């Protein structure tokens, strides 16, 4: 789920101004196909997925409370990427993310910085999608390049038929990163999210 917000205020505005001028509409991402694809993993593969990606698959089963999201969105500052209240700002700590994801970060590789992207050839080797096809499927929405969720889901289905579960798990995690953890818009999986995911593979 994502919050489609448009701020009619300038940077550095007070919380009360943000609350008055924030317009948003909750958008429910279609997760039913992903849930069905996730069920194709046998228990042994689900265990391997959890060891590699923590509780990422469990997040797929969470029900979103629209009223809670609606209330919190009134205080979300998209420029600061945190919730801004009168006397403090609220954002989950890294330790809280560790608990949510059930994925310890100690010994992990740092996330790539903003402009450091993995190459198409690296993504191709991880997903086992030919480079030419990946390049052809890379589309831009609002100046942000990425891949269609439907395209990656269709590839997941092919992988399940071939029973290539190692690649299936990596592609499934890539989609979940792009849809649940770092959603952009609609069924668009941000290329930067794909690149950050390569550290986990």
Asked if residue 127 has pLDDT above 80, the reply is yes
Closest-CA residue to 171 (of 157, 187, 182, 186) = 157
Domain boundaries, the chain: 109-201
Between CA 50 and CA 42 the distance in angstroms is 12
Cβ neighbours of 29 (radius 10 Å): 16
pLDDT digits 0-9 by tens, 142-162? 777 888 889 999 999 999 999
Q: Of 9 and 120, which is predicted with more confidence?
A: 120
Mean pLDDT value across residues 129-136: 93
pLDDT band at residue 2 under the 50/70/90 scheme: very low
Residue 20 in tokens: 């008055």
Looking at per-residue pLDDT, the higher value among 26 and 145 belongs to 145
Cα–Cα distance for residue pair 109/159, rounded to 1 Å: 27
CA dist 101 and 50 (Å) reads: 10
* pLDDT, position 1: 41
The answer to whether residues 75 and 5 touch, using CB atoms and an 8 Å cutoff, is no
SS3 46: helix
Q: What is the per-residue pLDDT across 51-86, written as a single tens digit (0 to 9) for each? A: 888 888 888 887 777 777 777 777 877 677 677 887
- Tally of helices (H runs) and strands (E runs) in the chain: 11, 8
pLDDT at site 11: 45
The yes-or-no verdict on residue 47 having pLDDT over 90 is: yes
**pLDDT for res 3:** 43
Q: Annotate 90-109 with b (16+ C-beta within 10 A) or e (fewer).
A: eeeeeeeeeeebebeeeeee
Find all residues with CB under 8 Å of 3, minimum gap 6, and list them.
24, 25, 26, 27, 69, 73, 76
More confident residue, 194 or 154: 154
Burial class, 59, CB count within 10 angstroms (exposed 0-12 / middle 13-18 / buried 19+): middle
Q: What is the pLDDT of residue 63?
A: 77
């Amino acid at each position: 789920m994502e919050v489609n917000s448009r701020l009619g205020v300038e940077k550095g505005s007070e919380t009360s101004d943000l609350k008055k001028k924030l317009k948003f509409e909750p958008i429910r991402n279609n997760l039913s196909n992903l849930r069905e694809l996730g069920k194709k993993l046998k228990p042994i593969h689900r265990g391997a997925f959890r060891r590699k990606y923590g509780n990422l698959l469990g997040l797929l089963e969470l029900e979103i409370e629209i009223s809670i999201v609606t209330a919190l969105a009134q205080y979300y500052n998209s420029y600061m990427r945190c919730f801004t209240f009168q006397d403090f700002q609220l954002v989950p700590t890294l330790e809280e993310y560790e608990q949510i994801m059930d994925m310890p970060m100690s010994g992990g590789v740092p996330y790539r910085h903003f402009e450091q992207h993995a190459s198409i050839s690296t993504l191709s080797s991880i997903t086992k999608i030919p480079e030419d096809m990946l390049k052809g499927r890379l589309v831009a929405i609002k100046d942000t390049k990425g891949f269609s969720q439907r395209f990656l889901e269709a590839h997941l289905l092919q992988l399940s038929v071939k029973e290539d579960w190692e690649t299936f798990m990596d592609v499934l995690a890539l989609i979940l990163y792009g849809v649940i953890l770092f959603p952009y818009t609609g069924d668009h999986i941000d290329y930067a999210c794909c690149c950050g995911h390569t550290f986990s593979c």
